Amino acid sequence: MVDYNWDRIAKHYRRYRPGPPRSHYDLLRCFGLGLPGQQILDLGTGPGLLACQFARQGAQVVGIDSSAGQIEQARLSARKKGLDVSFLVAAAEELPQLARPIDLAVACMCWGSFDQSRVLERLIPQMVGTGQLVLSTFCWLTDNRAGRLTLELLTELGIALQHDTRRPLGQHPRANDPRLKIRAMIHYEEPIAFDLDAWIGRILASRKLSMLDEETSRNLARQLREHLARRCGEQFSINHGIEIQIYGLSSRSATA
């Protein structure tokens, strides 16, 4: 497994990497998830985007991440927003015993990078009988001009990103465990507005680009600006694909 340098890009990641749109949270609320008072665990929290949003909705939230740099940025973000969120430096596979049972565990854009069986061995015993697990993805697509031109330049430079993930429903990493049962699987697309600086920042916040040195990153930013500015202008939207998988505990697990 590649050891991405999450600490090095943590500050940049918090500034430029957008979290899922409001529709993502609205859909979860339709399933009774993300409600006030719920105990929520955000696995692979990064800069705390999901954790802070759930806290804003009134939930009691713990966010964990193996990157100390990301957790530092998550704490800073929560503090600036006046939110009470507990952030811990810990790998998902080494989930510590939490103070309260978990109503909802979420993993956005990170489930495929975990040793999933180890995560579930730690997670499931800490979930309440009605506990839920949500896996979600939020990926930019290339069916509009700015996305297509971005991919064009990255390809020319020999940079392969997970750019276009318009896959059949359910083809993203799943939670395959007999103790879990699928409740819902949702896929939709939504345009996300960017200005040119924010989009370049978003691309540089991609995990594969965390391995680039500072000079290479600056050169890439310059090339992206030259490639996109004249063709797309300073304001544009990028279509994103969003998938949400919702799992509940099987009756056997819930009564164990």
Q: pLDDT tens-digit profile of 213-256?
A: 889 889 999 999 999 999 999 999 999 999 999 999 987 555 45
- pLDDT, tens digit (0-9, with 9 covering 90-100), for 149-202: 999 999 898 887 755 545 555 556 788 899 999 999 999 999 999 999 999 999
**Domain range enclosing 48:** 10-254
235 in a structural domain: yes
Q: Which residues of 23-56 are buried (b: 16+ CB within 10 A; e: fewer)?
A: ebbebbeebebbbeebbbbbbbbbbbbbbbbbbb
With cut-offs at 50, 70 and 90, classify the pLDDT of residue 1: very low
Confirm whether 130 is domain-assigned.
yes
Backbone angles phi, psi at 134, to 5 degrees: -115, 125
pLDDT 10s digits, 89-104? 999 999 999 999 999 9
What is the four-CA torsion angle of 39, 45, 51, 52, rounded to 10 degrees?
A: 160
Report, as an integer, the average pLDDT of 57-62. Answer: 99
Domains in the chain: how many in total? 1
Kindly report the CATH number assigned to the domain that includes residue 225. Answer: 3.40.50.150
